[in-house]
Structure 1
Amino acid sequence: MSIASDTVTEKSGYKLHIVRTDKYKTNTLVLKMKAPLKKNSVTYRALLPYVLQSNTSKYPTTPELRSYLDDLYGAGFYVDVAKKGEYQVVSFTIDIVNEKFLSDSTPLLEKAFALLSEVIFHPKTNGAEFDAKTVTNEIRSLRQRIQSIFDDKMRYSATRLVEEMCKDEPYALDASGNLQDLETITPKSLYTYYKKMLAEDEIDLYVIGDIDESEVEELAERYISLPERVPAQLQRTVGKDVVKEQEIIENADVKQGKLNMGYRTHISYGDPDYYALQLFNGIFGGFSHSKLFINVREKASLAYYAASRLESHKGLLMVMAGIENENYKQAIEIIHEQMKEMKQGNFSEEELEQTKAVIKNQLLETIDVSRGLVEILYHNVLSGQNISLDEWFAKTEQTTKEEIIKVGQKIQLDTIYFLSGTEVQE
């Protein structure tokens, strides 16, 4: 089975990725801007895409911009800010109907390029600063998004685990930014940072759909013009050794305790044993047939939810469980037990085959939408590798039980974080 892959061309100041496929009814443009996570810029980067998507010099109000999208047969336009390893990535996405399916000959792909160019290069400004009202509105919205993390205790406890576990590392920063820095941002300082971002970020433009490559090349030349740059790259590290496990218990007004455990795997995306790590996580806690789900939630009835997930570009494995406060010690014991079982290879060939099938299905589901395909392809930009989806499937299929056991030997518990509703009984 061959999956669509990207043809990459170096352009002035960015890389153009063209993915020709007739899998989707729409054409999609995704522009990604990547820079190392830094305390002094994290909140600027969290705010900026929302200011840019609000209005432009040509469409000075949000209703005008949205109305224009409606005129383009209901085109979709989204922004996103994410943390990928120790990078912060800002994305701009436009989904537009493929003009081949229309009776009239509106050049929709060109209009999508023109709109992306308008949003990124022609924001609404008052000279050398952003429109003050727009910035004020978006600061208010971002403040609410940051505060909502505190209200969602599941997300809050996951955030707190990362803050404690990665205390002196950039990964401790949240991609949404922080409230203190938000108070200091002005329309002028945000505009200054915007100029810096355009000049220094690593920029990748993906164009996906049933498209003509030469037309895309020509449109990219015409609409996307950036200065040459040498983007900042982080040293690829496999994570620091755990000297001493730490345990942090916080009290809060919660009905249900939130237990989060963080492990260092010393493996990240692009490493030869990454596929074995994915399977390890899948059998351990990634899916509904996993050991954590069956033993902590089903058999022992200790948790409302129990699962694990990987942070592929930072090499972390995180366990999340919702438990009654009095079950704290017992839940940790059973999680330790499941980890020990995994490291000793106490899982069946059937569990391994089932996990391989679920991972494959999950990847296929992800690429069912063009934005999902971009996320998969973008792993290569983040890791400096060039791994195709076909290779990912093949390597996963070929992974043996022995390789999974070997991966388990590298995994170290670093931090236990518990958000408790009452005092925990020692």
Structure 2
Amino acid sequence: MRIELVKGVNLNIIPSKQFKTTRIFISFIKNIELKKELAERALLANYLEMCSQNYPTQIDIARKLSQMYGASFGSSVDRRGNYQLINFSIDYIESKYLAGNEDLLSEVIEFLKEIIFNPLRVGENKNFDEETFTRQKNNTITYLKSIKEDKQAYAAAKLRKLYFDNEIQQVPSFGESEDVEKLTISDVMDAYQKMLNTDRVEVMISGDVNTDEVVNKFSVLPFKVRNISRASMSYTQEIKQEIVTQIDEEPLSQSKFDMAFRLPVVYRGDLHYAALVFNSLFGGSALSLLFTVVREKMSMAYYANSNFDPFRQLLVVQTGISYTNKDKVQELILEQLERLRKGDFEDELLEQNKNNLISSYISRLDSQTSALLRAQSAALTGINVTVEEWLDNLQSVTKDDVMKVAKMVELQATYMLGTN
């Protein structure tokens, strides 16, 4: 059930008796127009998670969560195409499992109201607390700089820079360290006011809840009416006429070789499910050609996998290899793609991959977080697919469908990290 609390703010209720907890997401959604906004909003999410006027320290927040029978709370940032999401999530035990049938929902909503609408401010100008702000800024910078030590993540970030023409898309959802270093309290407070007053908001709640009660209690949150621009969530770019390549030399025991392909398949479009099966066959599972041929049969990679982002129409292949095998590995990967284009794979392998995807999907039905994320995607895209529809669509994918998707794949960029 989806209800508009005020214009631009929607409450999505997913009733379920399957879980002993109730889980809530509150997502602030913005179409990012400037690269620095990613860093501003990531630092803002970190600040709001750590303190509020009535809970000025992490210890105070932890104590309050403990009083709510060990409720779990956190914030995060996420990206969906052109959108960045600031998420606040909390889960708590159902009241009926408590001795006194306490009304935890009201208490949890008051806690979220405090965190989101009453951040810690000090001094005559009511600025964010400088000590807390500086600590979170330094923590964020340290984390972003540490990414270089994770060579697989670092290689993926460098590939993203090569592939995307748009600088916003080149940057991860939490921004870059150099942008965070420049941020002032004023910058992040401005981002806070924009988030609070202009972001589209999607509230998700899953659990054994009463719909009328949920609507009444969430209505106390002081959201203002906002005018939402309907910018497209999906990012697309023109095909590059030449493949972009880059090699960075660094002594590693295991070199990283990544490839970026353009795959113009629209989320929930006609070929969406065929693209899921194609990715599973190509490198998205232990039954894939990259795993069984490049890694297992040919022993040319320590790992080899693929991932498809439908909101940015990007297919990425990641491998860990010996530096001297780069050309052979690239040739092998492209050979597997060509096999899929020609339909050079057994019907049994197709069915195995479809069954694997179905099993994975069914297993996620037992996850409350997955249920919320599915509802969130439906809210963001306006496309709601039932379990039965998803299974039918996936099962109906044919070999010809997979071949059609494979023929749409175009190599755009490669990145190599390592030394001979």
TM-score where L is the length of structure 1? 0.94
Report what 1:286 is aligned to: 284
CA contact (8 A) 2:40 2:191 kept: yes
Equivalence for 2:138:
140
* Mapped contact 2:234–2:311 kept (Cα < 8 A): no
Tell me if the contact between 2:81 and 2:234 (Cα under 8 Å) persists in the aligned partners: no
Equivalenced residues, count: 416
CA distance in 2, matches of 1:62, 1:131: 13
Q: CA deviation at 1:237?
A: 5.3
| Corresponding letter in the other structure for 1:73 | Y
Alignment of 1:32-47 (within 5 A): 32-37=27-32, 38-47=34-43
Structure 1: distance between partners of 2:77 and 2:387 = 24
Amino acid aligned to 2:17? D
1:30 offset after TM fit, Å? 0.3
1:199/1:229 contact within 8 Å kept = no
* Code of the aligned partner of 1:47: L
SS at match of 2:270: coil
Specify the alignment match of 1:10 in structure 2. Answer: 4
CA contact (8 A) 2:275 2:405 kept: yes
Aligned AA for 1:9? I
- 1:253-296 CA-to-partner distances (Å, cap 9, x unmatched) read 32211010011110131211110000000011000111000111
Contact 1:283 1:291 in 2 (8 A): yes
What letter is aligned with 1:11?
L
Once the two structures are superposed, the pairs formed by residues 136-215 of structure 1 within 5 Å of their partners are 136-215=134-213
Quote how far apart the aligned CAs of 1:419 are: 0.9
CA contact (8 A) 1:286 1:308 kept: yes
Q: Which residue of structure 2 aligns with residue 341 of structure 1?
A: 339
Unaligned ranges ≥5, structure 2: none
Rounded Cα–Cα distance in structure 2 between residues aligned with 1:172 and 1:259: 18
Q: How does 1:39-188 map to 2 (within 5 A)?
A: 39-126=35-122, 127-188=125-186
Shift of 1:238: 4.6
**Cα distance in 2 between the residues matched to 1:122 and 1:302:** 55
Q: Distance in 1 between matches of 2:354 and 2:26?
A: 32
- One-letter amino acid of the counterpart of residue 175, structure 2: G
Aligned-partner Cα distance in 1 for 2:192–2:320:
41
Which residue type is aligned with residue 180 of structure 1? E
- Structure 1 stretch 115-124 or stretch 230-239: which is displaced more? 230-239
Alignment match, 1:396:
394
Task: From the superposition, tell whether residues 88 and 394 of structure 1 become closer, same or farther in structure 2 (CA, over 3 Å).
Answer: same
Deviation track 1:203-259 (CA, whole Å, cap 9, x = no partner) reads 100011010000000011113523322245236455422321122111123221101
Give 1:169 deviation, angstroms.
5.0
Distance, in Å, in 1 between the alignment partners of 2:367 and 2:56 is 31
The 1:88–1:236 alpha-carbon spacing in structure 2 relative to 1, beyond 3 Å, is: closer
Partner SS for 2:36: coil
Which aligned pairs between 1:239-250 and structure 2 lie closer than 5 A?
239-250=237-248
Q: Distance in 2 between matches of 1:187 and 1:268?
A: 39
Cα pair 2:246 2:415 within 8 Å, conserved? yes
1:18 partner amino acid: I
The SS at the match of 1:222 is: coil
Q: Give the SS at the match of 1:175.
A: coil
What's the CA shift for 1:28?
A: 0.8
Instruction: Give the distance between the partners of 2:162 and 2:418, measured in 1 at CA.
Output: 16
Alpha-carbon distance in 2 for matches of 1:277, 1:396:
10
Structure 2 residue identity aligned to 1:336: L
- Distance (Å, rounded) in 1 between the aligned partners of 2:11 and 2:126: 29
**Number of the residue aligned with 1:21:** 16
Contact 1:81/1:89 (8 A) holds in 2: yes
- Residues 238 and 267, structure 1, Cα contact 8 Å, conserved in 2: no
User: Which amino acid in 2 is paired with 1:217?
Assistant: V
3-state SS in 1 of match to 2:23: strand
1:348, 1:259 → 2: CA distance? Answer: 28
**Following the alignment from structure 2 to structure 1, what is the Cα–Cα distance between the partners of residues 236 and 174?**
25
The one-letter amino acid of 1:144's match is T
CA distance in 2, matches of 1:365, 1:252: 41
Partner SS state of residue 103, structure 1: coil
- The residue number in structure 1 matching 2:310 is 312
CA distance in 1, matches of 2:385, 2:224: 27
Change (3 A) 1:182 1:128: same
| Alpha-carbon contact 1:238-1:268 (below 8 Å) kept | no
Q: Name the CA distance, whole Å, in 1 between partners of 2:329 and 2:310.
A: 26
Percent identity at matched positions? 28
- Cα separation, 2, equivalents of 1:50 and 1:237: 27
Give the Cα–Cα distance (whole angstroms) in 2 for the partners of residues 253 and 117 of structure 1.
50
Q: How does 1:255-270 map to 2 (within 5 A)?
A: 255-270=253-268
> Which residue identity is paired with 1:342?
L
Secondary structure (helix, strand or coil) at the match of 1:280 reads helix
- AA aligned opposite 1:53: E
Distance 1:8 1:365 in 2: 25
Deviation of the 1:195 alpha carbon: 0.3
* Aligned residue type for 1:22: K
* Partner residue, 2:362: 364
Give me the whole-angstrom Cα distance separating, in 2, the residues matched to 1:390 and 1:44. 41
Which SS does the other structure have where 1:65 is aligned? helix
